[in-house]
Structures are given as C-alpha cells and as structure tokens.
Amino acid sequence: RMLEVELRDALKNKELELYYQPLISAVDRRPMGFEALIRWNHPIRGLVPPAEFIPLAERSSLIVEIGDWTIEQACRAAASWPTGMTVAVNMSAKHFRLSDIAQVVKKALANSGLESNRLEIEITEGLLMENPEEVTIKLAEIRDLGVTLAMDDFGTGYSSLSYLLKFPFDKIKIDKSFIDASSQDPAARDILKAIASLGKTLNLRITAEGVETAEQADFLSTIACHQLQGFHFSPPLDSIDMPRYLLANV
C-alpha cells in the first residue's frame, strides 16, 4: 500500500531510471543494441526491482504514465547512441490495452528523432491472451511504423507456438531457463537447436537471454542464434556505466 502511494511520486521525483543491457551479435560478438530495464531508486529502500513495482503500477492507470515515460526516455537515449544501435523496450500488457499504443510509439519516435527500425517492443504472452482481434490490430499498427516486435520469455507460456502463428513477430527472445538448463541437460540443447531452426524457417530473428558462460555463448553461436544477452557479456548498465561501455565497445 505504502509503496503504491510512493510510486505515484516516483516519476515526478525522478526516482525511476532505465538501465541498458547489451544485445551482442552471436557472429562477431559486438553490441548491436540494448534492452531498457527499469529500476526504481527508492530514497529509503534503495533499488527496487521492476518485478516488485510494475505489478503495483498495473493496478491503476499509473502504468500508462510509467510506460509512456519509458518509451519516450528509451527513444531519446538511443538517439544519442552511435548510429545503428537499437533499443528494446518491455511493454506491459495493461499499458498496451489502456492506451493508443501506436500513437505513443509514433510520438516518442518523432520527439526523439530515432529511426523506427532502431526501436524494438518486447511483448510477453500475457499480453496476447485476451481480445486477440484488438491486440492484432494494435500490433500491426506498431509494426507498420517500422518498429520490430519481439516475443519475450519465449517457451515459458502455454501457447508460444500458436502465438507465432497468429501475431506478426519479427523476433523471439528465448527464455533464460532454457539457456540455464543447456549447461547440464542435452534435451535443453536439443530444444534450443529446434527453436533456432524454427526461427530460420519462419524468418524470425533469435535472441538468447541469460547467457552466463562462454560455453553457453559458443553453443548458441554454433546453432545460429542471432543475438546473445546476459551477465557473461554485461549486466544492465546505469547512466554512469553506459557511456563508458559505449566508449569501450562500440
């Protein structure tokens, strides 16, 4: 309750911050872009993770304000990065439903001057479950702007495959549980191989999340994943470390 009240002022007090985690080319191991990951710098509690406050924001229309701010902020940041670097933004299902989301995206692109093909929107299955007609129209509107649509946490939901059939995704992000398991379990490696092959057939780009070891990275490169993301390469970076990373790696 307390936290929910404080969250209302967090935006105004500039306590929200976007961290950026590199998305690494599986081919040449250089950064291609970054995923924006929101954090709340609470004056007393310290860094509050999104898993704790996004659900609170989703209980009210606060998620719309936070979501609008996030897209705007991420586009402005990316416009200042070296040419070609992309930015991926996580989209709350509630925000998507409550707002004219294509309009929000269009405005953020215009305000920042970011080319639309440098923005990616990450969507989880939760968003796709209800009202598929409305969701399809909204996703198509975003994609028509030239923005990339990525399915996040792929493989964890009830019907990941049927969603690929119904909705116009460009990219899938394989959930980190598969990458974790691949270190021990040959069946997990077979599943990863099959997903990579599916991606090739369906013309979807593939990102592997939660890559923590060189062995995982090498395996994922071998099976032709496109992008790798995880602590093996870099944690999400704050506003101090991000410019340093860009200088050193881009």
Residue span binding ligand G (CB under 6 A) among the ranges 25-33, 47-55, 97-105, 139-147? 47-55
Site string for Na ion, 30-59 (x = CB under 5 A): ------------------------------
CB of 178 to Mn ion, least distance (A): 15
Length of the chain: 250
Task: Give the whole-angstrom CA distance, residue 191 versus residue 205.
Answer: 16
Tokens of 62: 């606060």
The DSSP bridge partners found for residue 174 are: 154, 208
Q: What are phi and psi of 162, to 5 degrees?
A: -70, -30
- Encoded one letter per residue, x for contact with ligand G by CB under 6 A and - for no contact, window 153-182 reads x----------------------x------
Q: 108 and 75 in contact (C-beta within 8 Å)?
A: yes
* Nearest position to ligand G, beta carbon: 230
* Under 8 Å between Cβ of 79 and 112: yes
Q: Is there binding between residue 153 and Na ion (CB under 5 A)?
A: yes
Instruction: Report the distance separating Cα 132 and Cα 128, nearest Å.
Output: 6
- Give yes or no for residue 207 binding ligand G (CB under 6 A): no
Enter the tokens of residue 155. 């493989």
Q: Which two tokens stand for residue 180?
A: 């974790």
Residue 210 is a binding residue for ligand G (CB under 6 A): yes
Binding letters toward Mn ion, positions 137-166, x by CB under 5 A: ---------------x--------------
Cα 121–Cα 229–Cα 120 angle in degrees, nearest 5: 15
Write the Ramachandran bin of 155: left for phi over 0, alpha for psi from -120 to 50, otherwise beta: left
Q: Of the two residues 6 and 94, which places its CB atom closer to Na ion in the complex?
A: 94
Residue 54 contacts which entry, ligand G, Mn ion, Na ion, none (Cβ below 5-8 A, type-dependent): ligand G
Tokens of 149: 């649509």
Count interface residues toward Na ion (CB under 5 A): 2
Q: Which is nearer to Na ion, 72 or 152 (CB)?
A: 152
Is residue 237 a contact residue for ligand G (CB under 6 A)? no
**Chain positions contacting ligand G, by CB under 6 A:** 21, 36-38, 49-51, 54, 70, 90, 92, 152-153, 176, 209-212, 230-231, 236
Write out the residues near Mn ion by the rule CB under 5 A: 90, 122, 152
